[in-house]
Amino acid sequence: MTALSENLDLPALFPRHEFSAWQALVEKELKGLAFEKLHKKTYEDLTIKPIYRAADLPPQLEQTPASGLHRRGERAAGYLLQPWWVCQEIPHPSPETWNASAREDLPQGLDALWLEISPNATRPSLVLEELSDLQTAFRDLPIAQTPLFVRSQAPALANLSLFLGYWEAEGIEPQSLRGGLLEDPLADWAAQGQLSAPLSSILDRSAWGIRELMQTAPQLKSLALDGRVWHRAGASASQELACLIGSAVTYLREMDQRGISPESLVPHLHWTLETGSDFLIELAKIRALRLLWQRVLQAYGLSGQLWLHASSSQLSLSKTDPYVNMLRVTSQAFCAVLGGVNSLSTACFNAPLGLPDSFARRQARNLQLILREESNLARLIDPAGGAYALESLSTELAEKAWGLFQTLEQKGGLMPALATGLPQSWIAETRSQRQQDFAKRKKSLVGTSQYAPLATETELHLLPAPPEPGPRPPRAPAWMPAGFQPETKDFAQALKQSIRRGADIATLSNVLMQTETAQEPAIEALPVYRAAAAFEKLRARVEALPEPPQILLLPFGPLKAWKPRADFAQGFLEVAGLKVILAEAFASAQEAVQAWSQAPVAAAVLCSADADYPEIVPAVFAACVEAGWSQPLLLAGYPKEQVAAHQASGIREFIYLGADLPATLNAILDLLGVPA
């Protein structure tokens, strides 16, 4: 082995090349196409360039985390002193099963627990009705030492009362508790379209709960800024950030009016984002959020850090070929960690299908442990910092979001804007664009809309669904405070005593809200959008049959004429779970129709070159008439000038690049008589 010389002339070995020279080579390869063809537009109306340079970096870029506008993170040492928390959700409604799962999972690498007790949760959430349910769920768990984040639906005062009563009953000192009892009334209003009481009254109760937690459990976060609601509706990253910042500013104002200053409220805010599949944009989203929040804090004359929890995107998960979800979640988790989140929840690969078992939960948990302990991501300080593309896009995305936020402010803030439907209309437009892109496979879901497997027996690792709960035994009469009386001395103690004497959540909530005779006016609710849903409905139609219909591909001509079309048609049809059979290439229409009529199939697809179709299509239909054969015939391709003629001949559907995949496949299933 030759030793390296100490006198290497690196500039000579690696000469500097100018951007113009590189661009000239690229344009030569493009063969006359414009260089801008390599640019990509995002849903945020940003332009992704094929290459970024130092000139693209924003001015005055921070050199270290926790400096400037905190784009590079909230802690100067990154994860060196405190890695992110592995904070997993255990989706199960039964307190007994939830407890068994938590006792199994906590010693295996969990740092914190995430608990959804909201009816709006996209997965089954833990059902807590009274103190005994909470005692069952937390039995033999080190709750006092384990950070616990609880996301409740607004109004959440009854749920807060449940935890206050539990801490007292179990002798837990809340001063040392970590985590959060979280509610986000604005996000809940946007998700449901209505609230059980006027928003102002709900915020009154939220303010009381925040003050109570500040006094009794000062380390707990109390007010959520839940970006998942906007993300799951299909919002772009800029729309999601604008609504989040709009929520934060609204809460700062509303709580200030209720005696909680912005300075005291900021440390008790908890932020949540879902990281999607567009890696670069999602990573920029995390950094842009910190830029935006620091801008808001500066406007208030404040400083502070942002506690950020990230979770896997529900938008990208699929029921079809669910093991591919592992790859999606891995990419999203890697993105979140590079973004510098404080805690992370990774979805189980089978989450869209039901209740994950021990194996599925272990896979989700170990994913994070591998990133932290084997990939050593916790030993790095902002490894993505300084990347030209990332820093440029983070700044651009923050500016886009800030512009949308200012539009919300011009409407009076997020509350009036939601009432008029402005953010809902933004998100609906983006969601429609996403749906169109997935339908036409400009964006694809591997294993669902692209390279979909045939139906196979796969171990799904699900727990059995719990039985429907029966009626609870009558409860003993329990004393409860008469309505919301925060000015009453020992009101918190009254709530705790109500819980300990047997008051259930629903009854207590009704009593606390009994002075309210009106509801917040209904608004347009944000739907939960999942890209795979349209394709899953297709497969559900086919899988409801005893056997999937079979489709015969009829190739004509030389291999190069029909092979690309046949491969494309097969992949297209298999998205719906149809079984595709490829015949040998035919020399005549009579041979093709004879083979077709003898095959156990429900339809056939002609596969050849556009130039040959004017001769092949009429000949095949003539042979069908002669043989008395009338099954549906489809065409691989879409020769625009020939379409009308082929339809007149009897071609029922066209299979081609750019077709609306769900619409075309549904039409084909209708032709085959598959029930909707």
318 and 203: one domain? Answer: yes
Residue 123: predicted pLDDT: 60
What DSSP letter does each residue of 622-634 carry, written as one string? HHHHHHT----EE
Distances (CA, A) of 101 to 17, 61, 170, 463: 58, 45, 21, 11
Q: Which tokens sit at 409?
A: 């402010």
For residues 422 and 550, state if they share a domain. no
Q: Supply φ then ψ for residue 556, to 5 degrees.
A: -130, 145
Residues ≥6 apart with Cβ < 8 Å to 130: 162, 475, 499, 502, 503, 504, 505
Structure tokens, 571: 């992949």
**How close are the terminal C-alpha atoms of the chain, in Å?**
70
How distant, in Å, are the alpha carbons of 74, 198, 436, 490, 544 from that of 569?
Answer: 51, 55, 20, 71, 23
Same domain, 277 and 158: yes
List the CATH number of the domain containing 657.
Answer: 3.40.50.280
Helix (H, G, I), strand (E, B) or coil at 47: strand
Residues 160 and 263 in one domain: yes
* Cα(133)–Cα(92) distance, integer angstroms: 13
Say what the pLDDT of residue 121 is: 54
> Beta strand pairing status for 85-89 and 47-48?
unpaired
Looking up residue 414, the CATH number of its domain turns out to be: 3.20.20.240
Total count of domains within the chain: 2
Task: State the chain's maximal CA–CA distance in angstroms.
Answer: 94
Averaged pLDDT, 598-603: 96
Is residue 396 a part of any domain in this protein? yes
pTM: 0.94
Domain assignment present for residue 66? The answer is no
Contacts of 364 (CB under 8 A, 6+ apart): 88, 329, 346, 347, 348, 349, 356
325: Cβ contacts below 8 Å, ≥ 6 apart: 317, 318, 347, 349, 350, 351, 352
Amino acid at 53: R
Domain boundary (439, 472, 489) is at 439
* Residue 44, both tokens: 């945020």
End residue of a domain, out of 404, 439, 474? 439
The strand ranges marked E within 153-197 are 179-183
Residue whose C-alpha is closest to residue 284's, from 137, 134, 385: 385
Helix and strand numbers, DSSP H then E, in the chain: 24, 17
- Residue 1: the pLDDT is 47
Reduced to 3 states, what is the DSSP secondary structure of residue 185? Answer: helix
Q: Over pLDDT 70: what percentage of the chain?
A: 95
Domain range holding 349? 85-439
* Cis omega (within 30 of 0) for bond into 155: yes
Q: What is the DSSP letter of 316?
A: G
User: 609 with 562: CB under 8 angstroms?
Assistant: yes
Query: What gap in Å lies between CA 92 and CA 113, rounded to an integer?
Result: 13
551-593 pLDDT per residue, tens: 999 999 999 999 999 999 999 999 999 999 999 999 999 999 9
Domain-located, residue 502? no
* 460 domain-assigned: no
| Alpha carbon distance 502, 505 (integer Å) | 10
Residue 408 lies in a domain: yes
The one-letter code for the residue type at 329 is V
Strand partners, 355: 463
Q: For residue 417, tell me if it sits in a domain.
A: yes
**Segment holding 606, helix H or strand E:** strand 603-607
What's the confidence (pLDDT) of residue 11? 83
* Domain finish residue from 399, 418, 439: 439
**Count of beta carbons in the 10 Å neighbourhood of residue 31:** 6
Q: Tell whether 171 and 313 lie within a shared domain.
A: yes
Long-range contacts of 209-213 (CB under 8 A, 24+ apart): 209/156, 209/157, 209/160, 209/181, 209/183, 210/255, 210/260, 210/265, 210/268, 211/259, 211/260, 212/160, 212/164, 212/492, 213/160, 213/181, 213/268
Q: Which helix (H) or strand (E) holds 94?
A: none
Q: What is the 3-state composition of the chain as percent helix, strand, coil, each rounded to the nearest 5?
A: 50, 10, 40
What is d(CA 480, CA 509) in angstroms, rounded to the nearest whole number?
10
Q: Token pair of 201, please?
A: 């009254």
Q: Of 265, 262, 180, 175, which is closest to residue 221 (Cα–Cα)?
A: 180
Tens digits of residue pLDDT in 90-146? 988 999 999 999 999 999 999 999 999 865 555 667 888 899 999 999 999 999 999
Q: What crossing angle do the helices spanning 237-257 and 279-299 adopt, rounded to 10°? A: 30
H-state helical runs in 193-278: 199-216, 228-232, 237-257, 262-265
Backbone angles phi, psi at 327, to 5 degrees: -70, -40
SS3 category, 528: coil
pLDDT tens across 485-535, in order?
Answer: 777 778 899 899 889 988 888 888 888 877 666 777 899 999 999 999 999
Cα dihedral 215, 218, 221, 222 in deg (nearest 10)? 0
Whether residue 480 is contained in a domain is answered as no
Entry field: residues in the chain: 676
Residue found by looking up tokens 């379209």 in the block: 193
Are 426 and 289 members of one domain? yes
Note whether 432 and 548 are same-domain residues. no
Per-range mean pLDDT, top range of 119-123, 321-325, 450-454, 663-667: 663-667
Q: What is the pLDDT of residues 3-53, one digit of tens each?
A: 666 778 888 888 888 899 999 999 999 998 999 999 999 999 999 999 999
Is the per-residue pLDDT at 379 higher than 70?
Answer: yes
Helices 279-299 & 324-339 angle (0-180, nearest 10) = 30
Structure tokens at 268: 């008790």
* CA nearest to 224, candidates 192, 269, 256, 274: 269
Q: How far apart, in Å, are the Cα atoms of 565 and each of 411, 569, 606?
A: 53, 6, 9
Which conformational region is residue 376 in: left (phi greater than 0), alpha (psi within -120 to 50 degrees), or beta? left
The pLDDT tens digits for 267-303 are 999 999 999 999 999 999 999 999 999 999 999 999 9
The yes-or-no verdict on residue 479 having pLDDT over 70 is no
Q: What is the mean pLDDT of the chain?
A: 92
Q: Are residues 541 and 394 in the same domain?
A: no
Asked which of 93-102, 415-424, 433-442, 516-525 is least confident by mean pLDDT, the reply is 516-525
* Integer Cα distance of 603 and 552 in angstroms: 6
pLDDT at 287: 97
The runs of H, that is alpha helices, within 501-606 are 505-512, 533-543, 559-574, 589-598
- Note the pLDDT tens digit of each residue in 106-116: 999 999 999 99
Examine residue 250 and state whether it is found in any structural domain, yes or no. yes
Determine what percent of the chain is predicted with pLDDT higher than 90.
Answer: 81
